[in-house]
């Protein structure tokens, strides 16, 4: 049997192999994804983001366990673009699998660039499509921070849970960070620690503005992931948000927007490959580079001419 | 006088305005950069990266003060893609300016995406060109981590100093992080703390492999930025590295490679704009998106057809 046949038969080791193929962009990975798309779309995608040390992994694990107890199948993608310094994602999945059932109802995958690959956001989105096509009911995506890569990742999710801790600083910080814009739900984790009430009150105050404009409640849930406290409440808010997305028509709209972006990204990536080839055929790049290096011209003037020559502008 | 004239006349407030124009990609920013390129190329670019809390800012400030004492002009760009959570870059430049001379020999600029702009690496490279054209002898670029954005930033530098602290974990971690690949010099900061000797020994052991293959020594310098200890030694290693780059021909080669990349990025960005326009004219995107959403087709099959239609593939 091919790896694809084994995947379609529900073999998790084939799933792991397929995600590696997707991650490495091995020849033919696009054909694999093309086959997955029509099978995907059913899984609910929940994103979890927040600063390092906020307890996102514990929170995701707790939510996953609760979903598993409900008979749901759960795929988890842990993205850690900053892992180089923490090593978090390197061993993470193996450590995290320990307390998870091995009956095929859950699958955990860590993804991290170690400073070389790039395309992490695209790879994560593609991995989510694979998990979706594999048959998971929920795909939980966990990532650190709100850099561009992380934002692109979070953008592939239906519901976004931002996790903060009392030590994260004040809510105004979160506001500056753009977290208010992406958060559907705030989980204030480690909420037994001092300052939790203060940051919750601040968050609630700032969120009032959003609540007035939209029908969604933007809840702040005080959690203690490690003690399994209020995880049920957080999950019910997640489910409520998904229901809200459906009833308001936003679910469809957002998913369609993602497809639109996907098309544009595939087309532009492909055309960029062609452009690069054309450029080298069209002119003596080394000569032009030398002229810029010597201060005789500049990259913008050169590029304008190249675009004119390519007849692609 | 226009802002460009004031810039060319050495007015730092005009420089600040210009960098904002570059950062925001205000109409005409490319024309400004086109004018700067022939004036740039003289400044030496030093990159400083490492984990949060390694004391990069103190180290950069110390190096800057030492260069200023030598009569050099120093521009500093502090890039903090993760600043949303730390708030570091938001107030950083103002705090840091306090202990710097106000005689026009130094300029500090913080750059950070607050989860919206993107293109941070390009903006930073462009800001470096502006500082170079403005007449600074050295451009010091400080950034956190080794994500893709940070790597792209570091790639615009001639010499890269990776800053670690004894608490950063072991050298094997740094190896995994890809730091070994980008580091020309290691600064082991806060080296008065326990474990400094150990991590230095580990680093040196791993670096032996690189030292055997290349003529550069890849030094590990034990610094205490806050006590100004061994900053002179670090600076002399930086200067030695720049001299090495020149004598080995790598300086030219790397600068030319940067120009080549810049051309490709300008051309592809421009063509991508055209492609997006073409796409919307060519087909009823909404209809195609709907078909993918309903599982009738997939983005890859659709994209192939679009590229064929566009005659750009």
Window B:103-162, CB contacts with A under 8 Å: 113-116, 118, 120, 145-149, 151
Calculate the CA dihedral of residues A298, A304, A307, A308 and round it to 10 degrees: -130
B258 shares contact with chain A (CB less than 8 Å): no
Which residue from B minimizes the CA distance to A41? B293
Backbone phi, then psi, for A27, in 5-degree steps? -45, 130
Cβ within 8 Å of residue A91, ≥6 positions away: none
Task: Please tell me the distance from the alpha carbon of residue A79 to that of residue A75, in angstroms, as a whole number.
Answer: 13
Backbone phi, then psi, for A99, in 5-degree steps? -95, 20
Nearest CA-CA distance, residue B109 and chain A, Å: 19
B171 shares contact with chain A (CB less than 8 Å): no
Count of CB atoms situated within 10 Å of the CB of A8: 17
Contact A34 B178 (CB under 8 A): no
Which residue from A minimizes the CA distance to B284? A260
Nearest CA-CA distance, residue B307 and chain A, Å: 7
Cβ within 8 Å of residue A257, ≥6 positions away: none
Chain B residue numbers with beta carbons less than 8 Å from the beta carbon of A289 are 256, 259-260, 263
Largest distance between two CA atoms of chain A: 69
Chain B residue numbers with beta carbons less than 8 Å from the beta carbon of A283 are none
Count of CB atoms situated within 10 Å of the CB of A192: 13
Contact A179 B90 (CB under 8 A): no
User: Do A123 and A226 contact (CB within 8 A), yes or no?
Assistant: no
Contact B295 A149 (CB under 8 A): no
Chain B residue numbers with beta carbons less than 8 Å from the beta carbon of A35 are 298
Task: Determine how β-strand A220-222 pairs with β-strand A185-188.
Answer: parallel
Structure-token pair, residue A125 = 């989105």
- Chain B interface test: which of A112, A271, A284, A291 (most B C-beta within 10 Å): A271
Contact B38 A296 (CB under 8 A): yes
The interface pTM score, or ipTM, of the predicted complex is 0.84
Looking at residue A10, its pLDDT comes to 94
Of the two residues A112 and A2, the one the predictor is more confident about is A2
A53 shares contact with chain B (CB less than 8 Å): no
Q: Which residue has the tokens 């009833």?
A: A247
Chain A residue numbers with beta carbons less than 8 Å from the beta carbon of B147 are 81-82, 113, 115, 147, 149
Structure-token pair, residue B202 = 């580990």
A293 shares contact with chain B (CB less than 8 Å): yes
Looking at residue B147, its pLDDT comes to 65
Nearest CA-CA distance, residue B39 and chain A, Å: 7
Contact A38 B295 (CB under 8 A): yes
Q: How confident is the model at residue A282 (pLDDT cuts 50, 70, 90)?
A: confident
pLDDT, tens digit, 9 for 90 and up, residues B243-295? 999 999 999 999 999 999 899 889 888 888 888 888 778 778 889 999 999 99
Contact B85 A37 (CB under 8 A): no
Structure-token pair, residue A163 = 């996790």
B134: pLDDT strictly greater than 90? yes
User: Do A256 and A87 contact (CB within 8 A), yes or no?
Assistant: no
- Chain A interface test: which of B175, B300, B306 (most A C-beta within 10 Å): B300
Q: Which of B84, B177, B270 sits opposite A178 (nearest CB)?
A: B84
Largest distance between two CA atoms of chain B: 69
Nearest CA-CA distance, residue A296 and chain B, Å: 6
A227 shares contact with chain B (CB less than 8 Å): no
User: Do B167 and A169 contact (CB within 8 A), yes or no?
Assistant: no
Task: Please tell me the distance from the alpha carbon of residue A63 to that of residue A295, in angstroms, as a whole number.
Answer: 59
Report helix, strand or coil for B78: strand
- Range with the lowest mean pLDDT among A115-124, A200-209, A293-302? A115-124
- Range with the lowest mean pLDDT among A19-23, B40-44, B127-131? A19-23
Calculate the CA dihedral of residues A133, A243, A58, A219 and round it to 10 degrees: 150
H or E element in which residue B138 lies: strand B138-144
Which residue from A minimizes the CA distance to B84? A177
What length is written for chain A? 313
pLDDT (average), residues A153-169: 87
A102: pLDDT strictly greater than 50? yes
Which residue from A minimizes the CA distance to B260? A289
Among A169, A159, A221, A166, CA closest to A190: A166
- Would you give the end-to-end CA distance of chain B in angstroms? 47
Among A177, A312, A268, A112, CA closest to B303: A268
Q: Which residue has the tokens 């050099």?
A: B72
Task: Please tell me the distance from the alpha carbon of residue B244 to that of residue A160, in angstroms, as a whole number.
Answer: 49
The DSSP call for residue A50 is E
User: Do B140 and B43 contact (CB within 8 A), yes or no?
Assistant: no
Q: Determine what percent of chain B falls in helix, strand and coil, rounding each to the nearest 5.
A: 60, 15, 25
B2 shares contact with chain A (CB less than 8 Å): no
pLDDT, tens digit, 9 for 90 and up, residues A162-202? 999 888 766 666 666 667 788 999 999 999 999 899 889 98
pLDDT (average), residues A84-107: 60
A85: pLDDT strictly greater than 70? no
Q: Which of B118, B176, B263 sits opposite A302 (nearest CB)?
A: B263
Q: How confident is the model at residue B79 (pLDDT cuts 50, 70, 90)?
A: confident
Give helix A250-282 / helix A231-248 axis angle, nearest 10°. Answer: 80
Structure-token pair, residue A303 = 């590029």
Contact A263 B178 (CB under 8 A): no
Chain B residue numbers with beta carbons less than 8 Å from the beta carbon of A260 are 285, 289
Architecture (CATH level 2) of domain B40-248: 3-Layer(aba) Sandwich (3.40)
Q: Is B225 exposed, middle or buried (0-12, 13-18, 19+ CB in 10 A)?
A: buried
Q: Specify the domain boundaries for CATH 3.40.50.300 within chain B.
A: 40-248
Chain B residue numbers with beta carbons less than 8 Å from the beta carbon of A148 are 81, 113, 115, 118, 120, 149
B87: pLDDT strictly greater than 50? no
Task: Please tell me the distance from the alpha carbon of residue A37 to that of residue A130, in angstroms, as a whole number.
Answer: 8
CA B125 from centre of chain: 7
Chain B residue numbers with beta carbons less than 8 Å from the beta carbon of A310 are 267, 271
Cβ within 8 Å of residue B146, ≥6 positions away: A84, A85, A114, A115, B49, B154, B177, B178, B179, B182
Task: Please tell me the distance from the alpha carbon of residue B284 to that of residue B276, in angstroms, as a whole number.
Answer: 13
Nearest CA-CA distance, residue B187 and chain A, Å: 16
- Range with the lowest mean pLDDT among A132-136, A171-175, B208-212? A171-175
A-B CB pairs within 8 A amount to: 234
The DSSP call for residue B213 is H
Contact A114 B148 (CB under 8 A): no
Looking at residue B258, its pLDDT comes to 92
Chain A residue numbers with beta carbons less than 8 Å from the beta carbon of B154 are none
């Amino acid at each position: 049997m091919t790896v694809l046949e084994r995947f379609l038969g529900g073999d998790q080791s084939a799933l792991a192999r397929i995600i590696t193929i997707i991650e490495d962009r091995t020849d033919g990975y696009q054909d694999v994804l093309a086959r997955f798309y029509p099978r995907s779309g059913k899984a609910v995608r929940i994103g979890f983001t927040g600063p390092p040390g906020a307890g996102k992994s514990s929170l995701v694990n707790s939510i996953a366990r609760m979903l598993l107890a409900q008979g749901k199948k759960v795929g988890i993608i842990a993205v850690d673009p900053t892992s180089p310094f923490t090593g978090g994602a390197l061993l993470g999945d193996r450590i995290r699998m320990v307390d998870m059932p091995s009956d095929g109802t859950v699958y955990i995958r860590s993804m991290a660039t170690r400073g070389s690959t790039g395309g992490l956001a695209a790879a994560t989105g593609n991995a989510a499509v694979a998990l979706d096509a594999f048959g998971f009911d929920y795909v939980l995506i966990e990532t650190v921070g709100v850099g561009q890569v992380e934002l692109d990742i979070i953008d592939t999710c239906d519901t976004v849970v931002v996790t903060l801790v009392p030590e994260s600083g004040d809510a105004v910080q979160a506001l500056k960070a753009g977290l208010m814009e992406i958060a559907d739900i705030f989980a204030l984790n480690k909420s037994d620690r001092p300052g939790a009430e203060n940051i919750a009150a601040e968050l609630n105050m700032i969120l009032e503005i959003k609540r007035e404009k939209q029908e969604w409640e933007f809840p702040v849930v005080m959690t203690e992931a490690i003690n399994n406290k209020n995880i049920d409440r957080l999950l019910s808010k997640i489910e409520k948000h998904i229901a809200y997305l459906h009833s308001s028509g936003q679910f469809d709209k957002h998913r369609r927007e993602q497809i639109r972006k996907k098309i544009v990204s595939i087309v532009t990536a492909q055309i960029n490959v062609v452009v690069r080839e054309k450029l080298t055929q069209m002119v003596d790049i080394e000569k032009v580079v030398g002229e810029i290096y010597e201060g005789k011209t500049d990259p913008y003037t050169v590029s304008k001419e190249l675009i004119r020559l390519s007849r692609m502008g």
